[in-house]
């Protein structure tokens, strides 16, 4: 009996290492790694302590938390806890958006560029008020800005045109609680004059979004010609953006994913 007890309890470091490796090999990591590991732990109660250690290591890799592992040889701190890094408004881009230039060029000697700004979701009314003030400073037109209360929990994106020294002119904008990625040949677009803000000329600038699987987008013009769009990835956005411009003396007719 004493020999059996000694065999059961006097585990070497090597024994423990083998158990850890064995447990780690059996941990299922999928879409929801925490649930998968918990299910695995319930099926392997005989190795509960080893699976718990492996679970802690998987979670550290998945969440980016700071973790102190206890219960292993050489570790004596039994009061260690997982400390998550705080997520500040600055880290979430609440007051300073992620900005991507998606196209630029020259029109009749005047430079222009199209940018997309993606604003992180405020978590409360105070953050929403701060974001609304930042949006106004950024130059977004008051006509496209919501009441601050409608910003809480919503990610906002704006595409806009800078034409020469004129203020930013909004092309597309929306607020979403959760991004809905486009798929297949899905496409959303907006057309506006390529010129000064007050211009009522032909809609020669097209800005839009397509799925990340799209490879070619064609813009058709009313004179029967067409242009292949420039495709760009945008920071903070799960869709691909495109821009195309029409020749002089014609305007937007349609846009489609052709590949």
Q: What is the C-alpha separation between 220 and 231, in angstroms, rounded?
A: 16
Cα angle 242, 243, 247; round to 5:
150
Domain membership flag for residue 166: yes
Q: What pLDDT score was predicted for residue 148?
A: 86
Domain membership flag for residue 70: no
Q: What pLDDT score was predicted for residue 7?
A: 43
* Whether 53 and 103 share a structural domain: no
Identify whether the C-beta of residue 30 lies closer than 8 Å to the C-beta of residue 52.
no
Domain membership flag for residue 253: yes
* Whether 110 and 11 share a structural domain: no
Domain membership flag for residue 90: no
* Whether 59 and 115 share a structural domain: no
Number of domains in the chain: 2
* Whether 222 and 111 share a structural domain: yes
Q: What pLDDT score was predicted for residue 79?
A: 56
Q: What pLDDT score was predicted for residue 201?
A: 85
Domain carrying residue 38: 2-63
Q: What is the C-alpha separation between 53 and 254, in angstroms, rounded?
A: 58
- For every one of its 259 residues, what pLDDT tens digit does the chain have, with 9 covering 90 and above? 444 444 444 444 445 444 444 544 444 444 444 333 333 333 333 332 223 223 222 333 333 332 233 333 444 455 555 556 558 999 999 999 999 999 999 999 999 999 999 999 999 999 999 999 999 999 999 999 998 889 999 999 999 999 999 999 999 999 999 888 889 999 999 999 998 766 678 999 999 999 999 999 999 999 999 999 999 999 999 999 999 999 999 999 999 999 8
Q: What pLDDT score was predicted for residue 82?
A: 56
Q: What pLDDT score was predicted for residue 85?
A: 52
């Amino acid at each position: 009996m004493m020999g059996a007890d000694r065999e059961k309890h006097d585990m070497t470091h090597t024994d423990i290492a083998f158990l850890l490796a064995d447990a780690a090999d059996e941990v299922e990591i999928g879409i929801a790694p925490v649930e998968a590991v918990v299910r695995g732990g319930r099926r392997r109660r005989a190795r509960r302590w080893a699976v718990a250690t492996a679970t802690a290591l998987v979670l550290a890799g998945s969440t980016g938390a700071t973790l102190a592992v206890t219960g292993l040889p050489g570790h004596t701190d039994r009061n260690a806890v997982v400390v998550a890094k705080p997520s500040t408004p600055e880290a979430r881009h609440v007051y300073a958006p992620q900005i991507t230039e998606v196209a630029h060029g020259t029109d009749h000697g005047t430079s222009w560029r199209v940018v997309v700004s993606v604003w992180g979701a405020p978590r409360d009314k105070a953050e929403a008020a701060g974001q609304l003030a930042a949006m106004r400073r950024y130059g977004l037109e008051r006509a496209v800005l919501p009441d601050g209360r409608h910003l809480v929990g919503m990610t906002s994106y704006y595409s806009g045109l800078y034409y020469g020294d004129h203020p930013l002119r909004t092309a597309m904008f929306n607020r979403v609680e959760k991004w809905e990625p486009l798929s297949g040949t899905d496409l959303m677009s907006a057309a506006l004059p390529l010129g000064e803000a007050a211009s009522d000329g032909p809609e020669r600038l097209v800005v839009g979004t397509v799925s990340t699987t799209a490879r070619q987008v064609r813009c058709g013009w009313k004179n029967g010609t067409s242009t292949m769009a420039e495709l760009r990835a945008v920071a903070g956005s799960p869709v691909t953006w495109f821009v195309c411009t029409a020749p002089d003396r014609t305007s937007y007719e349609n846009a489609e994913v052709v590949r």
